[in-house]
Structures are given as C-alpha cells and as structure tokens.
Amino acid sequence: MTNREQQILIEPDDLASQLDDPDLRVVDATVFLVPATQGYRADSGLEKYQAGHVPGAAFMDLISAFSDTTTGLGFSLPSPDQLAAALGSLGIGNENPVVIYSTGHIMWATRAFWLLRYCGHDRVMVLNGGLKAWREAGHPVNSGDESYSVTRFEPQPRPEVFVDSAAVQAAMSDGDTCTVNALSPEVYAGTGDHHYGRRGHIPGSLNLFYDRLMDGHRFRPAEALTTTLQDSGILDAPRVITYCGGGISATVDAFACLLAGKEEVAVYDGSMSEWVRDESLPLKTGDAP
C-alpha cells in the first residue's frame, strides 16, 4: 500500500483495529440509484443502514442534509455553512478522524469524501470495498440507529476542488486542463439508451469509465490505477476536471487521481445534469473527444 493509500483509503481489518478509538467517526453514506426516464432517481440507503452497518457508524444523508435541494439537480454542493452544520450534527469535528463507506457503490463514499475535502477536513478515509468487504472479512455488523454526540465543525473551504459550468467552458480551450467524463463509453458517445436529456459529451473531454478503476467493489491497486490513468493521458495534464451525470461517479475518477498522486483535480458538481439544461452549451457524440 502506498503512502497516499494509507492516508485516504483504509482496509476492513485496519478499520476494525481502530473502532475502539473514541475520536473516530464512521459514517455510512449509502444511496441507491434507480433508473428513470432521464437519468436516475436517488433512494435513501437508511433502511439498509438500519438493517446492518459497521458497529458505531452513523448514517450520512447525502440526499438532503448534504445537498443543496433547491437546484433541481438531485445532488448539488451545499454552502460551507450547511455542510459544517450537517457534519457537526453527525458528531464530526475538525480533529475527528473519519472513515466513510457505502453499502452500495463506493461512489457514494467518494462523493462524501469530496464534500469533506471541500470543507477542509484532512483526516478522512474511504473504506475500500465498503460494507461488502467488511462482511467478507468476517467483521460484525450492528442494526438499528447509532449516533455520535453533536459537535461543532469549523469549515475551511477549498473552493478549487469543485468547479462550475463556466470553469468547464474555459477548460475547453485550456491546454493545461484535462476534462474527464467518468460515464460509460455508450453514454459518452451518445449511442446507448441512457442519456441526460441531450446525448453526447462535453467537447474535448476524455472518457475514463469509473468501472475501469474498480476491481468489483474495491479500488484496483495503486499501480494498476496509475497505469490506467497514465494510459488515458490524464496524469500528463497540470490540472484535471472530472464530470459524470450528477457529480457522483466523477468523484471515483477524482479519488483515483489522488491515489495516483495527482492533487490538482476538481469535480464539476452539476455535471451533465446541469450542462444539458443550457441548450447553448455544446455536446459532441461519438467516441472521439
């Protein structure tokens, strides 16, 4: 395991050995996506959490408490104050080490990681493989609801870790920025049944399907991740912007960049769900950037 993996990715056995740390905060950030006519509908993972979770873990409501629900996009970056209040209500203070996992796809844990990164929290890790890996390792689960004592979180925002559509438009003519579409090749090309209202991808953006970075429900080893990112041309650019349908799976690509040592990476929060709403913004179909 590399030093970077040790900082932001944790294995089930390592987490199990730390559960008796009174300062540790473990959070379940599960959300489930259900296909809809355009895009997906998000369903809360609360019931799955209540049925079984890492002992001591609290539930993190990404759908409402950790999203700006006024944009009509499903998931949008909240204000730093809203995020800070939501973190404090979970019992997360600035000095608490945090481990985030998901019962479903790891993208929800990486989305939550990215929100804490935006708030300035540096002691956050993702459980590699989520609850599935935890169970496979033979570790126990608890049922019902659990919580930590409410505390105060002081945000120290890093606005550079998220970008808006204006920044993505500027990147289209910026040779120093590599823009990466994390969706499937079919959605990227605009050839599949699934789309977000308009087909295709942002012109100039490369395609690195997030699934290529995974080995089942786990991240691939750091060396394999680095090779995939390098072969895709992503690591050569001074700066990277990742996007997807709604700023969720894009965080898988962004997190992989961090694992490979690429720190200058941002997520386009609105992603395709926002981009397609403005008919003046271009889209390109086909396999080529």
Residues tagged active-site: 244
User: Do the Cβ atoms of 29 and 99 come closer than 8 Å?
Assistant: no
Which residue, 284, 288, 188, 199, is CA-closest to 242? 188
Paired tokens of 206 = 């490369």
Give backbone dihedrals phi and psi of 170, rounded to 5 degrees, phi first: -65, -35
Distance CA 45, CA 64 (A): 12
Distances (CA, A) of 34 to 38, 41, 42, 44, 245: 11, 5, 6, 11, 14
Q: What is the DSSP string of 94-146?
A: TT--EEEE-SS-THHHHHHHHHHHHHT---EEEETTHHHHHHHTT---B-S--
Distance CA 68, CA 70 (A): 6
| Residue 99: strand pairing partners | 26, 125
Helix (H) or strand (E) holding 28: strand 25-28
Say if strands 177-181 and 206-207 run parallel, antiparallel, or are unpaired. parallel
- What's the one-letter identity of residue 214? M
